[in-house]
Structure 1
Amino acid sequence: MALALACAGFLAAIGFAAAPRPAVAVTSPGSVTGDARVIDGDTIDIGGQRVRLEGIDAPETGQTCARRLIGTWGCGAAATKALKAMVTGRTVACERRGTDKYGRMLGVCFVDGSEINRQLVRDGFAWAFVKYSGSYVAEEAEARAAHRGIFATENQAPWDYRAGKWANAGEQAPAGCAIKGNVTRNGRIYHMPWSPWYAKVVIDPARGERWFCSEKEAVAAGWRPAHTL
């Protein structure tokens, strides 16, 4: 009980106090509200609606970062856990800002009025995704000045991390098509080269498994992305 109260106090202190939750997601053309399931450090699912947090880019789940004096740490896993701590057991409301090329809703999301996107950057768990938005440049500058999280020292941005993983995997994949389409008891799942399970997946055409050249191709063929939690 003491631990639960301490955790509740910590979350309230950073602006993420508990709020009553609807049993199911409530959607409208411009928003979605309900319980959220965390996919990775910048993606959630609310009632089957996949929401990519707009304007930020968190480290990939398997990505590691440098930190002064203590070597490397699992910054990707830490970002995922930070997002999970913010949303688990709470009502999440996301405002639509568009749709990405994979059909995911691009959203700015809130818990009890506090913006999740902004908090992740401010706490050092995500970069401002300046290729697509300048909304969180000030928060990144604040986090850098305070040496928080991924900004404790210079680290590889996730877009560069993904590009490097893709290039390496593409050298060994058929025709450079580096996405692995895996068939499991939970359905057809695709793994990107930066997926934590990518190296363990061996494509078996006899089971209907295959390679894809793009996520759009994989989604169109009926595969869904692997998720972390």
Structure 2
Amino acid sequence: MAASRSYFRRWQGGLVLFVGLVALGLSGGVLRANLSEDQINGPIRVIDGDSFEVAGTKIRLHAIDAPENDQMCETEQGTQWACGGWITKVVTDRYSGQTANCTAIELDRYGRTVARCTALGEDVGAWLVREGLAFAYVKYGRDYAAIERAAAKVDRGLHAVRLQSPEQHRRTRGKGRIPPDYECRIKGNISTKGERIFHQPGQRFYEGTGINEARGERWFCSAAAARAAGWRASKR
């Protein structure tokens, strides 16, 4: 009987420890799973330059960062072009429908599985960074840092143009500073005094102005359209 009570106490203590660990994980806001042994295999559906869907699982490629679909780049001659969409097309043309073998590492805060994937006989992240289609995301791992240095040395791909880092672009877009349509870049801002002022690219306050459509602020495709809607031009 004493042995039975001792076993029960050990079992009860283990249960309390298990519950405590789960609670600790949940209290961190994001429960990161140790998925290092999990394998995900199947045909690739490309979402963007660094995100796939494989066998119904959304995959974020480990330790790389590619431009967002709506991101623009600028050539040395000052020409703007939709590099994010172009990269997604290149990745789609190469990998769509190909079989991926992915090793899961963890879950990110969006619920995606962060993983290393191979396809066409090589590491997908390594290929993207080597071709200058993505950057090494060193805050999450230095796996591809040396490959990026080699690509930058010869100005391959993105290293030959000017662009915000994808991470900075996401932050800026989240503050309403990136136009959803590149043809409609004029910012119709409403000041704290309620004055409607529009800012055009190149003006002093353009970059720092964010558009909050919930407040009635708007994007415009032309200065004439902004004036017709009741906005006046910024003086600087």
Same fold (TM over 0.5): yes
- Of 66, 85, 90 in structure 2, the residue corresponding to residue 82 of structure 1 is 90
How far residue 128 of structure 1 moved from its aligned partner, in angstroms, is 1.0
Aligned partner of 1:5 in structure 2 is none
Fraction of identical pairs, as percent:
35
Is 1:172 the counterpart of 2:212? The answer is yes
Query: What is the CA–CA distance in structure 1 between the aligned matches of 2:78 and 2:171, rounded to whole Å?
Result: 27
Q: Which runs of 5+ in 2 are unaligned?
A: 1-35, 178-209, 220-236
Question: What's the CA shift for 1:113?
Answer: 2.5
Match of 2:164 in 1: 156
In structure 2, what is the equivalent of residue 39 of structure 1? 47
For the residue of structure 1 that corresponds to 2:172, the secondary structure is helix
Structure 1 position 52, deviation (Å): 0.5
Q: Is the 8 Å Cα contact of residues 92 and 111 (structure 1) preserved in structure 2?
A: yes
Confirm or deny: 8 A CA contact 2:68 2:84 kept in the other structure. Answer: yes
| 1:72 and 2:112 are equivalent in the alignment | no
Q: Distance in 1 between matches of 2:124 and 2:94?
A: 8
**CA RMSD between the two structures:** 2.2
SS in 1 for 2:140: coil
- State the TM-score, normalized to the length of structure 2: 0.58
**1:153 Cα shift?**
3.3
Deviation of residue 82 (structure 1)?
2.0
For these two proteins, the number of residue pairs brought into alignment is 149
Equivalent runs, 1:44-123 vs 2, <5 Å: 44-69=52-77, 71-123=79-131
Unmatched tracts of structure 1, length 5 or more? 1-27, 176-198, 200-229
Choose 66-75 or 165-174, whichever is displaced more: 165-174
1:144 aligned onto 2:152: yes
Measured at CA, do residues 29 and 138 of structure 1 come closer, stay the same or move farther in structure 2, by a change above 3 Å?
A: closer
Aligned-partner SS, 1:107: strand
Rounded to whole Å, the distance in 1 between the matches of 2:38 and 2:76 is 43
Asked if the contact 1:75/1:125 (under 8 Å) is kept, the reply is no
Matches of 2:143 and 2:162 in 1, distance apart?
A: 21
TM-score w.r.t. length of structure 1? 0.60
